[in-house]
Structure 1
Amino acid sequence: MLNTISISQIFVPDQDAALHFYVDQLGFEVQTDLQFGPMRFLTVALPSDPGHAVLLEKPGPPGYSDDTAVQVRDLISKGAAGGHLFFTTTDAHKTHAELQERGVELPESPTEQPYGIDFGFRDPFGNHLRVAQMTPTPSS
């Protein structure tokens, strides 16, 4: 049976800019940075969750032709083909303030939802990110 998800993937057209955003602004750590022929295999993970990495994949060879890669990058920039990452935090208001101090553009303020408090934003490439402070489930 399946046990865990080890790597999730999102497309980024510029891996160096993605490193700056995910490491310097969001607090991830580089887990793997290897060059495999035409492909750079670049993963980052949260220090609190090293077992789940995010592959910051640049669309291109060998997985995509140059023409397809251009189309994928165009769709990502429009937010139409970007990935989604969902994060949890113990304090949505504090996390929002810390990200804002680090220069992350945050169009939403933390908002009360039926499941807790959350807010959303996009990375510089159009990928959707959400942060939630989950309401504890009442014990029976």
Structure 2
Amino acid sequence: MPNISLAYCPITVDDVEAAIPFYRDGLGLEIVNDVAYDGHRWVSFGLRGQSGLAVVVSDPGAGRSPDDGDALTRLVVKGSGPGPYVFTTDDLDATFERLQSFGAEVLQEPIEQAWGPRDCAFRDPAGNHVRINQAS
């Protein structure tokens, strides 16, 4: 059976420029590509230790029909976009402190979840729900 791996994880935001500091400075991801085309922008962030996988932040209309872009815009504005987006870290407390001091909106402080992981939760500048799990 052939190997299959995930290449891109798209995250839709209402303001790409406002999202960059959250993902780059807050989460510590590295910008690996920044493409503008036809009035839209896609910023790809690499994850340490996961070459070939990128989180791609773009506006609701990027690469979509106008109707789909409008529908997604309404969801993003309400804070009801796709997600949550779940990341894993080897130091949950340090990651939480960095994002909190960065000014990210805290949804949940680090706790032990009944279903297993110790995790915390934030909203990115567009309102996307971002969870961070402690690596085992």
Q: TM-score range by the shorter chain?
A: 0.7 to 0.9
TM-score normalised by the chain length of structure 1? 0.81
> Equivalents in 2 of 1:61, 1:121: separation in Å?
24
Structure 2 partner of 1:14: 15
Q: Say which SS state the counterpart of residue 110 (structure 1) adopts.
A: strand
**Contiguous gaps of at least 5 residues in structure 1:** 136-140
The share of aligned pairs that are identical, in percent, is 34
TM-align CA RMSD: 2.0
> Equivalents in 2 of 1:97, 1:61: separation in Å?
33
Matching of residue 102 in structure 1 with residue 117 in structure 2: no
| Cα displacement string for residues 90-131 of structure 1 (whole angstroms, at most 9, x for unaligned residues) | 222222112212222213111112423111121111211111
Structure 1 partner of 2:93: 93
Q: CA deviation at 1:64?
A: 2.4
Q: Is the 8 A contact 1:82 1:126 kept in 2?
A: no
Q: Say which SS state the counterpart of residue 96 (structure 1) adopts.
A: helix
| Cα displacement string for residues 27-66 of structure 1 (whole angstroms, at most 9, x for unaligned residues) | 111111122334323211223434210111211265121x
Letter in 1 for 2:77: S
Q: CA deviation at 1:10?
A: 1.2
Q: CA deviation at 1:2?
A: 4.2
**Contiguous gaps of at least 5 residues in structure 2:** none
User: How many residue pairs are counted as aligned between the two chains?
Assistant: 134
TM-score normalised by the chain length of structure 2? 0.83
Letter in 1 for 2:7: S
Task: Choose 1 or 2 for highest CA Rg.
Answer: 1
Moved over 4 A (4+): none
